[in-house]
Homo-oligomer: A and B are copies of this chain.
């Protein structure tokens, strides 16, 4: 994956998406990497609740790989209650099972819930909340949230740092947003069809090959000839040859035979 580093900008014409709230984060590097993850997904509203090493942080800046559009505008709060004061829908990530009666979402269902909440609220501000490195979120923090978020991972090994959790949840939101807003999602199979061969051109190629094979004695068992030819046809149809490629194959057959093909009417 190529690594392009430059001062990042949020994309145009995109729903604002959730704020990312980091509570009592210890390492500036994690804040920087989280900012980088956010901006990759077009998110810019970073909120920090009492980061251990203070703010601003040069370490965070350096770790952000140029996501300064996020780092420079990060807002600082004393408590999570302050940070979510303007929020209309808040989801708290947690890896532990809690004895709280709250909906437990996955990144996927959380993304859907956020998109819906952001469409329906009058002044929507959604947020995803992430706790400190070792301890996660306090139970009192969780009471401020509408839902919990648990990332389904290998039950025998779950080891995500904060920035990775931010990346997975932000990315899942971004993909769902692209689909929901019908944005420019890459076509599933964006094969470059500019120069695709017509069926007739493909047919000429198949006739050329058939003539060549007939002449060279390829079909030793005449009764199998139709089946073999049909399979060959399927194989070439599957290739979706470009016009240029049909020329190449004509050239190959001609070269291997050592002679030109004369199409039989």
Expressed in whole angstroms, the Cα–Cα distance for A212 and B231 within the complex equals 23
Residue of B8, B101, B130, B189 touching A157 (CB-CB under 8 A): B8
**Contact A238 to B235, CB < 8 A, known contacts A167-B164, A255-B216, A255-B218:** no
Q: Could you say which residues of chain B place their CB within 8 Å of the CB of A180?
A: none
A104 and B162 within 8 A (CB): no
Q: Could you say which residues of chain B place their CB within 8 Å of the CB of A231?
A: 244-245, 248
B258 and A192 within 8 A (CB): no
Q: Does A73 contact B (CB under 8 A)?
A: no
Q: Min CB distance, A146 to chain B, in Å?
A: 12
Q: Does A61 contact B (CB under 8 A)?
A: no
The chain A residues found within 8 Å of chain B, CB to CB, are 1-6, 8-12, 36-37, 39-42, 65-67, 69, 93-96, 99, 101-109, 130-131, 133-136, 150-162, 164-165, 167-168, 171, 174-175, 178, 185-192, 209, 212-213, 216-218, 228, 231-232, 235, 238-242, 244-245, 248, 251-253, 255-258
Residue of B5, B134, B238 touching A239 (CB-CB under 8 A): B238
Report 30 cross-chain contacts, Cβ distance below 8 Å, ordered by A residue: A1-B94, A1-B131, A1-B136, A1-B162, A2-B94, A2-B131, A2-B135, A5-B159, A8-B154, A12-B156, A36-B159, A40-B157, A40-B160, A102-B191, A103-B189, A109-B188, A152-B175, A152-B178, A167-B168, A209-B252, A212-B256, A213-B255, A216-B256, A218-B256, A228-B248, A231-B248, A235-B239, A235-B245, A238-B238, A256-B256
Q: Could you say which residues of chain B place their CB within 8 Å of the CB of A96?
A: 2
Closest to A179 in B: B108
Q: Min CB distance, A259 to chain B, in Å?
A: 11
Give the most central of A41, A188, A239, A242: most B CB within 10 Å.
A188
